[in-house]
């Protein structure tokens, strides 16, 4: 991975105040692997302060035991830009997860779900009222598929 140094935010493309001609966004260089997770000398990407803050909020909730919904934080972005924020958040969350001494280390995989997939999950949920989380439901569905193929 190489550093991505830009005169605008990589996500929203708003020009920075130090660009020529100057824009309105405050420049921040985000460490793609965060410094606290060992990325001090690693690549950076130019972001506006707003999207830098949002990506770290999402990364934090992805790693927390009780993830909070974060869709509203990026609801004003088009899908392509949402993907960029979620990509950076996923990389940061995984870096944090791998450097933590947690016996229940989890890989964070950010899935964007279309309406149809969400409906499928919700229908499945109705059949398994005891399954609490979406993660558990996806695991159950995968297990049943695997069982079918590897008897
Ligand atoms: Zn931005
Ligand atoms: Zn950052």
Q: What is the pLDDT of residues 78-108, one digit of tens each?
A: 999 999 999 999 999 988 888 776 555 566 6
Are 8 and 32 spatial neighbours (Cβ–Cβ below 8 Å)? no
Supply the pLDDT for residue 103. 53
- How many other β-carbons are positioned within 10 Å of the β-carbon of residue 62? 22
Share of the chain above pLDDT 70, in %: 93
Q: For residue 120, how far is its CA from the centre of ligand 2 (angstroms)? A: 35
pLDDT digits (tens, 9 = 90+) for 35-54: 888 888 899 999 999 999 99
Q: Which residues surround ligand 2, an ion (CB under 5 A)?
A: 30
Task: Tell me how far the alpha carbon of residue 26 lies from the centroid of ligand 1, in angstroms.
Answer: 9
Please, what is the Cα angle at 25 between 20 and 29, to 5 degrees?
A: 90
Nearest ligand to the C-alpha of residue 8?
A: 1
Element (H, E) at 28: strand 27-31
Give the Cα separation of 145 and 42 in Å (integer).
39
Ligand nearest to the CA of 49: 1
Task: Tell me the C-alpha distance between 108 and 96, whole Å.
Answer: 10
So what's the pLDDT on residue 66? Answer: 82
């Amino acid at each position: 991975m190489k550093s991505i140094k830009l005169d605008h935010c990589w996500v929203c493309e708003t020009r920075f105040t130090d660009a020529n001609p100057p824009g309105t966004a405050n420049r921040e260089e985000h460490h793609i692997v965060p410094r606290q997770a060992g990325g001090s000398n690693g690549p950076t990407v130019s972001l506006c302060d707003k999207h830098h803050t949002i990506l770290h909020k999402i990364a934090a909730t992805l790693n927390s035991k009780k993830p909070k919904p974060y869709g509203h934080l990026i609801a004003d972005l088009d899908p392509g830009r949402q993907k960029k924020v979620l990509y950076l958040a996923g990389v940061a969350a995984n870096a944090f997860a791998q450097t933590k001494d947690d016996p229940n280390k989890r890989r964070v995989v950010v899935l964007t779900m279309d309406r149809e997939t969400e409906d499928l999950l919700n229908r499945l949920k109705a059949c398994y009222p005891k399954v609490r989380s979406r993660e558990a439901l996806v695991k159950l569905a995968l297990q049943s598929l695997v069982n079918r193929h590897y008897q």
